[in-house]
Chain A
């Protein structure tokens, strides 16, 4: 029997983030970004879900990914994806063991030495992330391409293109939700080129942030 690990990905837009969002009713963008994130993270195959398995066929970790938008100022998906990647790269899976009732319990260092029972995983470990996806949202307006738009720019110009590439330069997803401007092949290629450049910047930025955390 296999256990499938579901990562619950939720993108929240609390009322603090924008004058448009009111308490009680979720923002329109919220479920769309959640779905987009879920699709991107699963299709990029950056995490091996087997790593989240504890006891084959019996127990596995369930990862909850909650992303909160504090200030909605455009390109929400790009910021959400970057924060999701940063959170996953910082994630530490704790050391645990299975007790006599077949229930998983956390193990401290002292307990680990005393236990006759072998811990399921002996020490805290990080998830192995490979081919990390990064995205860039562009706005198409007449003959112009505006990269990384603000909320004001997004409200004026309606045609968005979001390109997601991984660190090896492979295309993970391309998202163009309608809009009055038609995206020609050349425009898509230009957006992809801008994204490629952005991926390098963001990857360096993430590496620096992670190394600063470890110090």
Chain B
């Protein structure tokens, strides 16, 4: 919007009129999730590999309204400045489209996602299989609707498998939000804003190994145990969907 006036900036997004009905507080006893899901119910997941022809491997993931696309390039020559290495290198980058969030360009706030993606994946990749070279994992969040990082990690794992990068196991990731005494799995953006704490687990379900565990906010020991179990169960189910997606592609290529 372009305009003129005292306190009004040159461009701004028009705000909704003030007399809107207030939403009920998110932590009340009779609270229902905005999208109608149960507290322990994940959003419907959709995966597809081979989304980008130019890449060695790629994947597209959709969790409800969260949409992510990941490309994997390599193994390819490391940058000249880098020293010799017996094992391969993993390079990760996560970016957001300007229209990913309701407010234009807000997605670029998440600078820590690159490091977190790297940490989540490096334990699952057999880096010894590509010495002296680098594998680049580039993720783009097309639409951000909550639980972005778990979706990025799961999608990146699928893209790595599609690229033929040797891994110990597929990596699945799920997050849980805490509201007073309630645990809510796979939170949407609205829920993430009002949460008291969050827990994200990235694991290799077949090996029952965790590659990353992130906890924010206040959690009791019992709540953490409950949250972890919730996440691990969800990761196991998610890994099945991811495997079936890979099998589908493999059977299609054989035919």
**What are 27 contact pairs spanning A and B, CB under 8 A?**
A14-B138, A14-B140, A16-B71, A16-B139, A17-B52, A18-B54, A19-B55, A23-B95, A23-B138, A59-B1, A60-B1, A60-B2, A62-B1, A62-B2, A62-B11, A64-B98, A68-B140, A70-B51, A71-B54, A73-B53, A101-B5, A102-B8, A103-B3, A103-B14, A104-B1, A106-B14, A151-B54
Known interface pairs A64-B98, A71-B53, A73-B54. Does A15 touch B71 (Cβ–Cβ under 8 Å)? yes
B54 to A72, Cβ gap below 8 A?
A: yes
A16 to B98, Cβ gap below 8 A?
A: no
In order of increasing CB-CB distance, the 5 nearest A-B pairs are A16-B71, A15-B138, A59-B3, A23-B93, A16-B138
Smallest beta-carbon distance B181→chain A, Å: 35
B5 to A102, Cβ gap below 8 A?
A: yes
Question: Is B4's beta carbon under 8 Å from chain A?
Answer: yes
- Chain B contacts of A99 at CB under 8 A? 17
Query: Beta-carbon contacts of A46-78 to B below 8 Å, as 1s and 0s?
Result: 000000001000111110101010111100000
Residues of chain A whose beta carbon lies under 8 Å from any beta carbon of chain B: 3, 5-6, 10, 12, 14-19, 23, 54, 58-62, 64, 66, 68, 70-73, 94, 96-97, 99, 101-108, 111, 114-115, 151
Contact among B55, B76, B104, B140 with A64 in the assembled complex (CB-CB below 8 Å):
B104
B16 to A16, Cβ gap below 8 A?
A: no
Question: Is B136's beta carbon under 8 Å from chain A?
Answer: yes
A96 to B98, Cβ gap below 8 A?
A: no
Question: Is B212's beta carbon under 8 Å from chain A?
Answer: no
Give the distance in Å from the alpha carbon of A66 to the alpha carbon of B142 in the complex.
12
Smallest beta-carbon distance A124→chain B, Å: 13
Smallest beta-carbon distance B119→chain A, Å: 18
Smallest beta-carbon distance B250→chain A, Å: 22
B17 to A106, Cβ gap below 8 A?
A: yes
Give the distance in Å from the alpha carbon of A14 to the alpha carbon of B66 in the complex.
18
Question: Is B99's beta carbon under 8 Å from chain A?
Answer: yes
A111 to B140, Cβ gap below 8 A?
A: no
Contact among B73, B98, B140 with A19 in the assembled complex (CB-CB below 8 Å):
B73
Question: Is B20's beta carbon under 8 Å from chain A?
Answer: yes
- Chain B contacts of A151 at CB under 8 A? 54
B93 to A15, Cβ gap below 8 A?
A: yes
Give the distance in Å from the alpha carbon of A97 to the alpha carbon of B136 in the complex.
49
Smallest beta-carbon distance B51→chain A, Å: 7
Question: Is B58's beta carbon under 8 Å from chain A?
Answer: yes
Residues of chain B in range 91-140 having any CB-CB distance to chain A below 8 Å: 93, 95, 97-99, 104, 136, 138-140
The residue in chain B whose Cβ has the minimal distance to the Cβ of A19 is B73
B17 to A107, Cβ gap below 8 A?
A: yes
Interface centre among B19, B71, B136 (most CB of A within 10 A): B71
A16 to B55, Cβ gap below 8 A?
A: yes
The residue in chain A whose Cβ has the minimal distance to the Cβ of B4 is A58
Give the distance in Å from the alpha carbon of A103 to the alpha carbon of B14 in the complex.
8
The residue in chain B whose Cβ has the minimal distance to the Cβ of A57 is B4
